[in-house]
């Protein structure tokens, strides 16, 4: 079964750093793009960016460029999303999702990681 | 890129059909046959219902169908059931390894 399992919920203070993870299994992790999506409380889905674990080729949405860093470690089949200095406005649910091998849609999705930033 | 435009809400009675629209531009919806639709129940991760405008992944009921005309894509849910009541999001490839989502539509089964 193809599966993405994300790290657990985080509670952080403004200014702190954070790295959340997304571990893939049941397929060739290196050979499939992984995307990241933000969902703020009560709001819609927002595209953040995508990475190809095989060579770490990464594209960011213009809205998130410079705000986050997407990375991957293919040796442990894990993708990451990190912040160097969190803001309260980063509080949201974050999902990773696997791009189809052959087309531009995403399945499956991870279960989501809730990030809460509060002083 | 700007979010795709969806109506905030849609509704229909059990057994009826409802269509949700998703309007973009020639740079996304109109430029690629890579529109997908996701269903999201409260507290759950999104689940793909339609990909490449009108294709259904295995396991998705044939009550769900998709289409596109110009810069507007549509999701139609036929023979509405109570379990269909939730949020739906469209998404389109926008070129250069970027994607864009719609703002979401809350479907109510009356």
The pLDDT-based confidence of A70 (bands split at 50, 70, 90) is very high
Contacts of A110 in chain B (CB under 8 A): 45
**Strand partners for B65:** B76
Distance between CA atoms of residues A82 and A110, nearest Å: 16
Distance between CA atoms of residues B66 and B55, nearest Å: 7
DSSP A63: T
Is the CB of A46 inside 8 Å of chain B's CB atoms? yes
Q: What is the pLDDT of residues B68-108, one digit of tens each?
A: 999 999 999 999 999 999 999 999 999 999 999 999 999 99
CA distance B94 to chain A (A): 10
Interface contact flag, B52 A105, Cβ < 8 Å = yes
Contacts of B93 in chain A (CB under 8 A): 104
């Amino acid at each position: 079964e193809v599966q993405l399992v994300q790290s657990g919920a985080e509670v952080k203070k403004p200014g702190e750093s954070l790295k959340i993870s997304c571990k893939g299994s049941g397929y060739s992790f290196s050979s499939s793009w992984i995307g990241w999506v933000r969902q703020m409380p009560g709001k819609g889905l927002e595209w953040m960016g995508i990475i190809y674990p095989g060579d770490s080729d990464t594209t960011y949405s213009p809205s998130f460029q410079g705000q986050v860093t997407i990375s991957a470690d293919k040796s442990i089949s894990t993708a990451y999303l990190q912040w160097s200095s969190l803001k309260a406005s980063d509080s949201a649910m974050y999902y990773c999702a696997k791009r189809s091998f052959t087309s531009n849609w995403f399945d499956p999705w991870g279960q989501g990681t809730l990030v809460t930033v509060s002083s | 890129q700007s979010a795709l435009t969806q109506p905030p809400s849609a509704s229909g009675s059990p057994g009826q059909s409802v269509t949700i629209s998703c309007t973009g531009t020639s740079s996304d919806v109109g430029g690629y046959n890579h529109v997908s639709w996701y269903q999201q129940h409260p507290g759950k991760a999104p689940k793909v219902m339609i990909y490449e405008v009108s294709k259904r992944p295995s396991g998705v009921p044939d009550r769900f169908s998709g289409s596109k005309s110009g810069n507007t894509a549509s999701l139609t849910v036929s023979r509405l059931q109570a379990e269909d009541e939730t949020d739906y999001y469209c998404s389109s490839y926008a070129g250069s390894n970027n994607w864009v989502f719609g703002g979401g539509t809350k479907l109510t089964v009356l």
